[in-house]
Amino acid sequence: MPPKSVKKAQPSPKLKKKINVSPINNSTTKQNQYINWITSSNTAVDDFDVHYITKWQGVDKAHKPPQAAFINPMKIEFKEKGIIGSSNIKAIMPRRDPSQDGQVNFSGQEGTGYPWECLVTERSNDTDDAASMGKNIAMVFNEFGSKHPLFTIPPKFAFQKDLSSDPPKPLNYYVCDVQCFMLLKSVYSEDNSKEDVMANDDIMTAYFGSPDDGRVMLQNITEGVWRSTD
């Protein structure tokens, strides 16, 4: 019986090969290094959310990501005009370090002069939440940076994550008591006595963590300080 013939393999079609290929690099990592990331959270205070902005953390998870420096022009704009576009920012304040007991602010990253800032926003309607406010800040800051003469290359801002909790944490988890008092006064001092506000357990808890802590903070505040607009 004659041997079966073996079918000869057909040559593979010749493929077109790209020439002058650019060097391979981690472009995602490179792009991320230039983004100022916005992290947002709700708080126990009705309509108040908090946000902070960091640079890309990279692969070193052992250290906090550095505070973004590019918000300094925005801080100046807010201080001079009280508003930055449609960002609904109510205050820009030092950020409290919740890992430490007492009233301690986050220190700037070693080797930099930029302190950690907390942006406090106020919701304007029932559809707002911490994430939508953070995304709006990114949009407004990108627009602001694109027009500011300080920047030859406009900074890039993007919303990164929502750390909201249920139940929400009190406001003094994010900023120190003295900043909480300033925000409390801006909301209630015009139409309410200090004593009436101190007597409200829900308000004291939302701002200061407990009624007792809130009353300790307010008990020595004079009427003049309570009514002042500074």
Buried b / exposed e along 15-50 (16+ C-beta atoms within 10 A): eeeeeeeeeeeeeeeeebeebbbbbbbbbbbebbbb
Predicted confidence at residue 10, as pLDDT, reads 61
Predicted confidence at residue 69, as pLDDT, reads 80
Predicted confidence at residue 12, as pLDDT, reads 62
Q: For 51-71, how does the pLDDT look when each residue is reduced to its tens digit (9 = 90+)?
A: 999 887 655 556 667 778 888
Residues of the chain with pLDDT under 70: 1-33, 57-64, 109-113
Cβ-Cβ contacts under 8 Å for 97 (sequence gap 6 or more): 104, 105, 106, 107
Predicted confidence at residue 55, as pLDDT, reads 82
Q: For 8-62, how does the pLDDT look when each residue is reduced to its tens digit (9 = 90+)?
A: 556 666 666 666 555 555 544 555 668 999 999 999 999 999 999 988 765 555 6
Predicted confidence at residue 143, as pLDDT, reads 96
Q: Where are the alpha helices (DSSP H) in 103-230?
A: 130-147, 177-188, 194-198, 201-208, 211-218, 223-227
Q: What one-character-per-residue DSSP string does 102-134 give?
A: SS-BPPPPTT-----EEEEEE--STT--HHHHH
